[in-house]
Amino acid sequence: MSELSLQVLPDRFVLEHQAGSVFPEDDEWVALVRAPEGLTVLRHASPFAPDGERWAGLYGDPHRARVAGVLASVVGPLAETGIELLVASTFHADLVLVPEDRLEAAVDVLREAGHPVDAKAIGGARR
């Protein structure tokens, strides 16, 4: 198994789908993915975004990003326990997004799978 140190990010995120769009009209985005069905836009969540639409981010150790099987070792256990997720990959690391209301469960699953998780950003309840 490939171990990956993860950090819970203090920010929360929202996803938007813009059908037919090739680029957002503003520059207030974190990540963009253009696909045949339109544009997916990842943004920082407003404090007013509904809970069900907010995503929490777990960011991986940049030094392990190119090790074969590392991302699968994170995605697999989450999928096996039914935790929905999305991944935004960068040159250096992967940002694994889980629904905000499933964050604590995701941290538990990842720790049980052998991944060290710095979860201070959950709110201090789980260090």
pLDDT of residue 122: 82
Domain assignment of residue 1, yes or no: no
Per-residue pLDDT of the chain (127 residues; tens, 9 = 90+): 577 889 999 999 998 888 887 788 888 888 888 888 888 889 988 776 665 589 999 998 876 656 778 888 999 999 999 999 999 888 888 899 999 999 999 999 999 999 999 998 885 333 3
d(CA 100, CA 52): 8
Is residue 127 domain-resident? no
Number of domains comprising the chain: 1
Query: Which CATH number is 50's domain given?
Result: 3.30.2130.10
- Tell me if 118 is assigned to some domain: yes
pLDDT at 78: 97
Backbone angles phi, psi at 84, to 5 degrees: -65, 145
Residue 99: its pLDDT value, please? 94
